[in-house]
Amino acid sequence: MLYVGRVMSLELQKLGIHTIGDLALADKGLLESTFGKTGLMVHLYAKGFADDTVSPMTEKRKIKSVGNGITFRRNLKTDEDITAAIMGLSDNVAARLRQYGLKAKGVKVDIKNKDFLTISRQVQLGSSSDSSFEIWEAAKALALPVSKTHGPVRLITVTAINLAEGETDMQLSFFNGESKDKETYERLDKTFDHIRSKYGPSAITFASLVNNEIGIDLDEMKEED
């Protein structure tokens, strides 16, 4: 079924939901508390309902945000786990920004803790960016204090917001290290994009995500535009 990948399928089975019919009859509140708005969406699809706007094939859809979220196999308690999770999510978001020819002026993070409380934080970037590292740094700075305050983390969504078409709104100085860092990030991102375009999303990643056991699968990550 559309939007039900391997990870979500396993989580549904844990809830006793094995078929589309089971999903259609499932408790809507349970699906929302477990999967967020995606749970409500697949519940409607399973029941045969959809209110998506029908547009001409030739009409280009305006993308207002680019996000990625995941419900983890276990609650995340350490900074190391949360940092790795955010790196995987930020990398996916930034890669799609580059694919769409967009840059983000802000980053938003949504965190659901073990008690299903959702906390949202956002920040404006110093300049528009499609860099995996810059989005990761911003998202990490938002998420780590929340995890310390609200306890173990069950779900994280990283979203690039305030999008613009490939523009940079701040001139960087040649007399500090920021310009050099930007160039280094850009080269790394281009290398990642090139390798993945030839061999697939999981062909190259960061060491902290290799054989991880928290549920980050680069081929199965949920996308939200």
pLDDT per position as a tens digit, 125-173: 988 999 999 999 999 999 999 989 998 999 999 999 999 886 555 444 4
Whole-model pTM above 0.85? no
Alpha-carbon distances, residue 37 vs 67, 73, 99 (angstroms): 13, 19, 25
Q: Which residue ranges form the domains of the chain, and what is each CATH number?
A: 6-46 (no CATH), 66-224 (3.30.1490.100)
List strands edge to edge, sheet with 103-113: 118-129, 103-113, 153-164, 66-76, 222-224
Buried/exposed code over 145-178 (b: 16+ C-beta within 10 A; e: otherwise):
ebbeebebbbbbbbbbbbbeeeeeeeeeeeeeee
Please write the tens of the pLDDT for every residue from 20-38.
Answer: 999 999 998 999 898 888 8
Ramachandran class of 66: left when φ > 0, alpha when ψ lies in -120 to 50, beta otherwise: beta
Planar angle of CA 159, 160, 163, nearest 5 degrees: 145
Question: 115 φ, ψ to 5°?
Answer: -95, 10
